[in-house]
């Protein structure tokens, strides 16, 4: 596997631009079926757009580790409460892969929520100001998978960073993160 983390970051998998083609023709149907439980979970996840691994262009990204994504698509990391870090330059497919993996998790019955990190930080600050921070934190704690997209691209305020750290540290060994 490409780019495994060192031992100083326990229970976290990091990889560079990894992916594999999902051979299941049923994945797209299960993910997009509005009447299925996966469909309602997709709506609750609030993805900006739905992505599947079937439509990911692996030929354009030869550095993608297909075997690792093949392992991740089984969602065993969620059962183990492990995390996935997608690392790469802008435009390399990190958001696409995160969304596709999370959509597969929805199709498999996991509770998922997608946030652009700046949106979550804003929601956390607003919740703190409205004295509803603990309620929002409790909602996030009920998730099986929390996707934080664009982490590190936009700097957060000191308060925002502290609130985000609180959410991430609370999720440790309880909720998987991408």
pLDDT in tens, 58-81: 889 988 898 899 899 999 999 999
| 109 Cβ contact list (under 8 Å, min separation 6) | 37, 38, 41
Please say if the pLDDT value at position 176 is more than 80: yes
CA neighbor of 160 nearest in space, from 132, 127, 131, 113:
127
Instruction: Name the residue with higher pLDDT: 33 or 57.
Output: 57
pLDDT in tens, 11-35: 334 433 333 333 333 334 444 444 4
pTM for the whole thing?
0.80
Asked whether 106 and 145 are in contact (CB, 8 A), the reply is: no
Asked whether 120 and 164 are in contact (CB, 8 A), the reply is: yes
The whole-number pLDDT of residue 172 equals: 95
Confidence of residue 153 (pLDDT cuts 50, 70, 90): confident
Please say if the pLDDT value at position 154 is more than 50: yes
Asked whether 44 and 113 are in contact (CB, 8 A), the reply is: yes
The whole-number pLDDT of residue 128 equals: 96
Taking the C-alpha atoms of residue 101 and residue 171, their distance in angstroms, rounded to an integer, is 19
The whole-number pLDDT of residue 39 equals: 81
The whole-number pLDDT of residue 36 equals: 52
Instruction: Name the residue with higher pLDDT: 19 or 122.
Output: 122
Q: What is the mean pLDDT of residues 117-142?
A: 96
The whole-number pLDDT of residue 37 equals: 67
| 148 Cβ contact list (under 8 Å, min separation 6) | 115, 117, 120, 168, 177, 178
The whole-number pLDDT of residue 168 equals: 97
172 sits in the region (left: phi over 0; alpha: psi -120 to 50; else beta) called beta
């Amino acid at each position: 596997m490409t780019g495994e983390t060192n031992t100083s970051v326990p229970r976290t998998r990091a990889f560079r631009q990894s992916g594999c083609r999902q051979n299941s023709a049923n994945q797209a149907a299960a993910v997009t079926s509005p009447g299925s439980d996966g469909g309602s979970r997709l709506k609750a996840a609030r993805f900006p757009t739905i992505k599947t691994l079937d439509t990911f262009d692996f030929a354009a990204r030869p550095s993608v580790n297909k075997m690792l994504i093949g392992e991740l698509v089984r969602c065993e990391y969620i059962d183990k409460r492990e995390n996935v870090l997608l690392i790469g330059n802008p435009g390399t497919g990190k958001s696409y892969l995160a969304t596709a993996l999370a959509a597969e998790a929805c199709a498999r019955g996991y509770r998922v929520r997608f946030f652009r990190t700046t949106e979550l930080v804003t929601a956390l600050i607003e919740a703190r100001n409205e004295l509803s921070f603990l309620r929002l934190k409790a909602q996030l704690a009920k998730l099986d998978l929390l996707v934080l997209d664009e982490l590190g691209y936009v700097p957060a305020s000191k308060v925002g960073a502290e609130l985000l750290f609180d959410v991430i540290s609370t999720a440790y060994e309880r909720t998987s993160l991408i």
